[in-house]
Structure 1
Amino acid sequence: MTNFGYALGVMQQEPVTRETFWRISPVGEVMFYFLAAVTVVWFLWGVYDRFARYSDGTADHAARLDDLPARIGRAAKVVLTNEKQFNRDFVGGVMHAFILWGFLTLLIGTTILAIDMDIWTKALGQPSFFVGDFYRSYSLVMDAMGLLFVVGVGVAIYRRYGLRMERLWDKHNSWEDAFLVWSLFLLGVGGYVVEGLRILGNDYPPHETVSFVGWFVALVFETGGVDQSMAGAVYPFAWWSHALLAFGFIVAVPYAKPFHMISSFANVVTNDDKAGKRLPGIPMDLDHTNAEDIDDFSWKEILDQDACTKCGRCSSVCPAKASGRPLDPRNVILDLKSYREDLDAGETESKPIVADGGGVIEAETMESCMACMACMDACPVDIEHLSSFTKMNRQLTDEGELAPSIQDMFQNVMQKGNTFGDPNRKRADWTEDLDFEVTDAREEPVDYLWYVGDYPSFDDRNKAVARSLATIFEASDVSVGILYDDEVYDGNDVRRVGEEFLFLEQAGTLVESFEACEFDTLVCTDPHSYNTFKNEYPEIDFEEFADDPMMEFDVEGFWNRRDEVEVLHYTQVVQDLVQSGSLPLDGTELDYTVTYHDPCHLGRYNDEYEAPRNLVRATGCDLHEMPRNRANSFCCGGGGGGLWMDFEEEPKPSEERLREALEDTEAGTAIEKFVVACPMCLTMYEDGRKTGGFEGDIEIVGLSELLAEAIESKGISVGSSGTSESATPADD
């Protein structure tokens, strides 16, 4: 008989399946079920106990469990597609996909086997379905996906211990990290060892060729001198080692890093899609505390701490950390977690959460945050860093532990209504250089109410931005008006620094002015203002603060709760004007080689990336992207109060960004202009151009200035002597 005929005959005689408890005694089988039951109970109790701890946290400001089926569906999509794992790290995404899909396949396969053994055949008395083509398919899929799992874990081990990737190593590394990767690796490899010994011990059953990895392992054993009898003798030891390691891993899940498999999914389910861009308010409660104690954190903020996988993605994109400031977003979250766990275990004494020396988190660490949201954008498990950071900033504000420059800025806002401390009656002086009148929106209806903002109103360099934007609106012949001296600071950054009540006072004062005007659309020069008007003002119940004597405004209830007023950034408005033909630019006016910087509050905060780029192209400029663009944009350093603080950092975020524009962009030193669409960015980059030695290499220009120059070159008459001046940035 030929080999093929012999094999076919054997396949017809032998059942196409395998014995699950091969060479395991009846006593061993009973012991296995006993240990399995103990493991499951231990696991369930541990998970319950872990989640029960969240009840120690305070209530959360956001609705976290509304429309739960949709939330679970979104979380399943995020997790199963690994879409966030691919963000900024393609290899890491592939690695994690292999691990996740391989692990889930092995888990499902084990569950199917248990159903067949323990329910289908033993409990229900039905013949096993673990035979024939089902068994072949099962074996093939399990071997293939198990191989991907081992490869994925192997890459993880190589990146951690071979390459020693910097973001994977920090002070919070512990036995948990090694336990996770090595136990998974040993489980994956151990499964193939057990399979290889079984195949060799059964003298290579022909139907087991579908288990191609196990078959290969059996051949390796045989080549190494292991014969059939030896394989049968060693098999029980290998089988029990594999089983006990699996039980140990399952028991460890609720108590160590593997818990992130559960907590991370829960974190994605309970995600607030507006986290960061809108911050939680503070109730009018004299007993309210912000972050005096670990119990002041909400249950979601505690879940954030448990969901952290120590991957370091947030740290690797943090501009504060890159500039040498004492902030590492990962370590802040993990420091809070470690303190909470040590406190629960009685291993540490109670101490301030945030303080200038002696706190869980140092005050300088929180002052370093730029509120750019890069950490949140990079986080694959939706940790909402800014919620916890703001809570600690508010605690520092309550205790008066703020940098003097920030306190001076607060005083300016309280006394003058602006961050500069200038008389607010001078807010519209920038209009005096225009040959046309800018409409007073307090006196007549307009289509667009233009919130100019502090820097375009008071900063000499940014006044050119205001004049150029006024020129654009005049050339477009649209109805635009401003509030003149009734405009006050919007409060965005003072809120992110921690001064909630000053923010509320400014918001109420502005809303009172808004409600006194007749307009359709609110347009902002500054992305910071745009974000706070769009996402934060509608969340405030002004009536709650009506009786506070410090709140000198008369506003009832909410403002713009149902989006009655459209809120836009000026780039969105001007893009519409260009596309409608109201601003006739055809892309031939200018021929500069430029790059564009995405402001955090316009891009990452509000997903507006294309309007500014469309406008740059509309002027005819040759646009070249920096490597870090759109959601991956690198912060200028001015957010979160950074504009008013002095840090001894090297290099400054603004200097690093200008270096990137000139060295890492495809056009390199051919870049003539660095285009920005944010007054704060303009200020920071003008400073970085000087301190970084880039004055002769590149020009910082506001996008509105570029557009005004294009209008002038087009010969569009706007009746403004300020056109020429606004088309070219003011001298440094």
Structure 2
Amino acid sequence: MPPVVPLQGEEVTRETFWLISTHEKALFYFLATVAVVVFAYGTYDRFARYARGTDDWFDRLDDLPGRIAAAAKIVGSNEKQFNRDLVGGLMHAFILWGFLALLIATTILFIDEWYRVLTVALGDRQSFWVGEFYLSYQLVTDALGLLFVAGLSIAIWRRYVARTDRLHGKHTDWEDDFLVWSLFALGAGGFLLEGLRILGSGEAIPTVEPVSFVGTATAIGLAGLGVDAAMAATVYPLAWWSHALLAFLFIAAIPYAKPFHMLSSFANVVTRDEKAGARLPGVPADLDATNAESIDDFSWKELLDQDACTKCGRCSSVCPAKASGRPLDPRDVILDLKAYRESLEREGGDTKEIVADGGVIDRSTMESCMSCMACMDACPVEIEHLKSFTRLNRQLTDQGDIQPSLQDVFQNVMTKGNTFGESPSARGEWTDDLEFEVADARETEVEYLWYVGDYPSYDDRNKKVARSLAKIFEAADVEVGILYDEEVYDGNDVRRVGEEFLYIEQAGTLIDSFEACEFETIVCTDPHSYNTFKNEYPEVDFEAFADDPMMEFDVEGSWNADGEIDVYHWTQAVEELVGAGRLGLDGTELDYTVTYHDPCHLGRYNDEYEAPRELIRATGCELHEMPRNRANSFCCGGGGGGLWMELEEEEKPSEERLREALEDTDAGRAVEKFVVACPMCMTMYEDGRKTGGFEASIEIVDVAELLVEALEAGSDEAVPGETGSGTDTAPADD
């Protein structure tokens, strides 16, 4: 009996359980029920574990319908899978869309089967799986099923033939094999079943079911191998049961193996923090609170992060610390924590220190992190690595397991209010060489309250950048003022290396100074300061620390929580001035060939890529992009305390970046100037220029220095400058 009614018939369809007996059908539904029950219990148990994690620091389930809709868009479009990897994006899209299509198709069959049972009980057997709906169903499932198998074939090629590096690591195990091979067997097995059914019908193959083009091609292939209709009908039940049992095994295994990422990853995207990394969770004012003394200290979201990891290695492939030979692999930190937690849940036994020499995570691993956020930007499932890394760094600080150089920095900040350990009264001395005065914002109302920062105030090379920016403000006739000796360190990087209470003390002290001034906008030289003022200070409940005798500030509640005070990086402020014509640049002043480095805290942290580029173009320079630019920028190595630590590296990140500028950029060795917009980047690249042997090849300049040179080149009158000197774009020799 042919399984398909002739296509000319109005009620074209096919038999669902072809050649499967009634007893086998009952066994099928019994096993299906068992598989679903095992799946449901396992899924409940996995999600129930998160309740054992600590509360997260903010509500991640607010506006849940909106969160789910946004997550569905992110996951359904595969937009993050295409980030830096077109082939990988297409592969995952084919697998995801194919899997969902086949899941929906199976659900439709289930609904129609029980719809038939119900209508038979009512005396009028009916089915909606007929006619045009049936034909459309067959066409769509064949098309998307083919994409599914194609995607899995690419995955198998990349993992086992090409052996893509990032897909393999210390946590690669049987789960990875099970996921890819079981799905491939299900997809390919489904087409084999379809081919056997079409061939076994005994009809002329091309006329049986032409909309099932993959199944028809499979039937033709089987016939070409000598399989006839009788053989196909004989083999079909065995193939059908093999396919069904594999499907049941896969469903039951989902909560217990890597396939669980299909659920945990979506949940992770739903509960994501859109400002993750740019802002960090605070700590309780209670001094007895712990950070990472045990796995129980981790929040439920951090536990979900661990389960959501798919081991794809995208974070590992973009990590500058790993590329430099430092002992950090972001994926392994997340998975090491997961493996330790699961071993305790499974076996109990002795606990280990979470982060320490010889702990679950080694101390040197966390010292290696640059807080550049490249791992988070690359992660397709929104794992918030930096949140967990900061928790681990806080634990290291609590334990006193930090480098002496970092302890010196902390001491300098505590006693002098700056990371250099210099006198606060010397903070404004960089202005002495200017031909004009920079206003004291404590004494006069200004438009811009300019937070200069530690490096532009105390470091000789960066003082030149500060003076260049002062000249730009003066040329634009902007009312700008600074805090002089009442300016203190903003605390951004000491927070990221784990010293939270010192961060809060600095923040409160600085806000006291802000509130004593009259201004419209805060402008920052350093992207690190810009980020912490914009995203982190408003999150701190300063009042919670009011009783702490170490916190000598008088801030009530939060600061700027409603965003009334605008916070700009200086390139954003000056771009507005250039756009308003207040600097008189016409874009013809300079003819240098340059490249630009995106600072992590301006780019990935705050999505500002165009303001510095617009300013560079405004000078007339020919800008050539490095291959890794914008969100894919490669960190200078100075973030996360890297500027203050001695680390073993195969090659400094700054040296690799300068090599990229001169060898991988389209302009190649014609690049004359490497342009930065961050004082820490300036420091790291001046060092890398010397240690990497690039001194004769390229010059490191700040965007502000280029602007001043352009202003002087394009103006008949000299730009207000320095006493006894002209422009200072030449690199420092010290």
Q: TM-score, normalised by structure 2?
A: 0.97
Q: CA deviation at 1:240?
A: 0.1
Specify the alignment match of 2:78 in structure 1: 82
Specify the alignment match of 2:258 in structure 1: 257
Specify the alignment match of 1:571 in structure 2: 571
CA contact (8 A) 1:16 1:207 kept: no
Query: Alignment partner of 1:210: what SS?
Result: coil
Specify the alignment match of 1:580 in structure 2: 580
Q: CA deviation at 1:287?
A: 2.6
Structure 2 counterpart of 1:730, one-letter code: A
Pairing 1:95–2:96 present: no
Specify the alignment match of 1:631 in structure 2: 631
Q: In structure 1, what is the Cα distance between the partners aligned to 2:9 and 2:142?
A: 25
CA contact (8 A) 1:405 1:644 kept: yes
Query: Alignment partner of 2:564: what SS?
Result: coil
Specify the alignment match of 1:27 in structure 2: 23
Alignment of 1:284-323 (within 5 A): 284-323=285-324
Specify the alignment match of 1:52 in structure 2: 48
Q: In structure 2, what is the Cα distance between the partners aligned to 1:128 and 1:384?
A: 48
Q: In structure 1, what is the Cα distance between the partners aligned to 2:164 and 2:574?
A: 44
Specify the alignment match of 1:237 in structure 2: 238
CA contact (8 A) 1:638 1:681 kept: yes
CA contact (8 A) 1:289 1:296 kept: yes
Specify the alignment match of 1:730 in structure 2: 732
Structure 2 counterpart of 1:40, one-letter code: V
Specify the alignment match of 1:175 in structure 2: 174
Structure 1 spans left out of the alignment, 5+ residues: 1-7
Structure 1 counterpart of 2:84, one-letter code: R
Specify the alignment match of 1:613 in structure 2: 613
Specify the alignment match of 2:36 in structure 1: 40
CA contact (8 A) 1:62 1:272 kept: no
Q: In structure 1, what is the Cα distance between the partners aligned to 2:726 and 2:660?
A: 30
Give the direction of change, closer, same or farther, for the CA distance of 1:9–1:364 in structure 2 (3 Å limit).
closer
Q: CA deviation at 1:731?
A: 3.4
CA contact (8 A) 2:115 2:126 kept: no
Q: In structure 1, what is the Cα distance between the partners aligned to 2:19 and 2:268?
A: 44
CA contact (8 A) 2:10 2:131 kept: no
Question: RMSD between aligned alpha carbons?
Answer: 1.4
Q: In structure 2, what is the Cα distance between the partners aligned to 1:726 and 1:67?
A: 52
Q: CA deviation at 1:466?
A: 0.5
CA contact (8 A) 2:708 2:727 kept: no
Pairing 1:388–2:384 present: no
Specify the alignment match of 1:4 in structure 2: none
Q: CA deviation at 1:515?
A: 0.2
Taking only the aligned residue pairs, the percentage that are identical comes to 72
CA contact (8 A) 2:676 2:701 kept: yes
Alignment of 1:506-525 (within 5 A): 506-525=506-525
Q: In structure 2, what is the Cα distance between the partners aligned to 1:581 and 1:446?
A: 21
Q: CA deviation at 1:721?
A: 2.5
Residue deviations 1:239-258 (CA, integer Å, cap 9, x gap): 00000000000001000000
Pairing 1:374–2:370 present: no
Q: In structure 1, what is the Cα distance between the partners aligned to 2:620 and 2:256?
A: 59
Moved more, 626-635 or 62-71: 62-71
Specify the alignment match of 1:148 in structure 2: 147
CA contact (8 A) 2:371 2:496 kept: yes
CA contact (8 A) 1:85 1:93 kept: yes
Pairing 1:18–2:14 present: yes
Q: In structure 1, what is the Cα distance between the partners aligned to 2:9 and 2:632?
A: 62
Q: In structure 1, what is the Cα distance between the partners aligned to 2:404 and 2:116?
A: 72
Q: In structure 1, what is the Cα distance between the partners aligned to 2:259 and 2:274?
A: 26
Q: In structure 2, what is the Cα distance between the partners aligned to 1:221 and 1:400?
A: 69
Q: CA deviation at 1:129?
A: 1.3
Q: In structure 2, what is the Cα distance between the partners aligned to 1:464 and 1:488?
A: 20
Specify the alignment match of 1:189 in structure 2: 188
Structure 1 counterpart of 2:555, one-letter code: V
Q: In structure 2, what is the Cα distance between the partners aligned to 1:57 and 1:128?
A: 48
Specify the alignment match of 1:530 in structure 2: 530
Q: CA deviation at 1:730?
A: 3.2
Alignment of 1:139-538 (within 5 A): 139-204=138-203, 206-346=207-347, 349-357=350-358, 359-538=359-538
Give the direction of change, closer, same or farther, for the CA distance of 1:10–1:679 in structure 2 (3 Å limit).
closer
Q: In structure 1, what is the Cα distance between the partners aligned to 2:287 and 2:468?
A: 47
Q: In structure 2, what is the Cα distance between the partners aligned to 1:284 and 1:245?
A: 53
CA contact (8 A) 1:464 1:725 kept: no
Query: Alignment partner of 1:97: what SS?
Result: helix
CA contact (8 A) 1:82 1:96 kept: yes
Q: In structure 1, what is the Cα distance between the partners aligned to 2:5 and 2:180?
A: 44
Q: Work out the number of aligned pairs and report it.
A: 724
Residue deviations 1:583-619 (CA, integer Å, cap 9, x gap): 1111011110000000000000000000000000000
Residue deviations 1:549-598 (CA, integer Å, cap 9, x gap): 00111111111111111000000011001000111111011110000000
Q: In structure 2, what is the Cα distance between the partners aligned to 1:348 and 1:585?
A: 70
Q: CA deviation at 1:347?
A: 5.8
Q: CA deviation at 1:348?
A: 5.0
Q: In structure 2, what is the Cα distance between the partners aligned to 1:277 and 1:455?
A: 21
Query: Alignment partner of 2:726: what SS?
Result: helix
Q: In structure 1, what is the Cα distance between the partners aligned to 2:441 and 2:667?
A: 44
Q: In structure 1, what is the Cα distance between the partners aligned to 2:621 and 2:223?
A: 69
Alignment of 1:545-694 (within 5 A): 545-694=545-694
Residue deviations 1:523-562 (CA, integer Å, cap 9, x gap): 0000000000000001111111111100111111111111
Residue deviations 1:365-399 (CA, integer Å, cap 9, x gap): 00100000000000000000000000000000000
Q: In structure 1, what is the Cα distance between the partners aligned to 2:276 and 2:5?
A: 66
Structure 1 counterpart of 2:172, one-letter code: N
Q: CA deviation at 1:55?
A: 0.6
Q: In structure 2, what is the Cα distance between the partners aligned to 1:646 and 1:189?
A: 54
Query: Alignment partner of 2:89: what SS?
Result: helix
Moved more, 131-140 or 183-192: 131-140
Structure 1 counterpart of 2:177, one-letter code: A
Query: Alignment partner of 2:336: what SS?
Result: helix
CA contact (8 A) 1:153 1:181 kept: yes
Moved more, 285-294 or 501-510: 285-294
Residue deviations 1:14-56 (CA, integer Å, cap 9, x gap): 9521111111111100000101111111111110000000011
Residue deviations 1:146-177 (CA, integer Å, cap 9, x gap): 00000000000000001000000001001000
Q: In structure 2, what is the Cα distance between the partners aligned to 1:405 and 1:588?
A: 46
Query: Alignment partner of 2:351: what SS?
Result: coil
Q: In structure 2, what is the Cα distance between the partners aligned to 1:653 and 1:727?
A: 24
Structure 2 counterpart of 1:119, one-letter code: Y
Structure 2 counterpart of 1:283, one-letter code: P
Q: CA deviation at 1:13?
A: 6.2
Q: CA deviation at 1:11?
A: 4.0
Q: In structure 2, what is the Cα distance between the partners aligned to 1:264 and 1:719?
A: 56
Q: In structure 2, what is the Cα distance between the partners aligned to 1:407 and 1:700?
A: 30
Residue deviations 1:340-384 (CA, integer Å, cap 9, x gap): 000101165211110122x10001100100000000000000000
Moved more, 597-606 or 279-288: 279-288
Residue deviations 1:429-473 (CA, integer Å, cap 9, x gap): 100000100000000100000000000000001000000000000
Q: CA deviation at 1:643?
A: 0.3
Structure 2 counterpart of 1:199, one-letter code: I
Q: In structure 2, what is the Cα distance between the partners aligned to 1:594 and 1:615?
A: 13
Query: Alignment partner of 1:209: what SS?
Result: coil
Q: In structure 2, what is the Cα distance between the partners aligned to 1:51 and 1:27?
A: 36
Specify the alignment match of 1:3 in structure 2: none
Specify the alignment match of 1:5 in structure 2: none
Q: CA deviation at 1:729?
A: 3.5
CA contact (8 A) 2:261 2:307 kept: yes
Q: CA deviation at 1:648?
A: 1.9
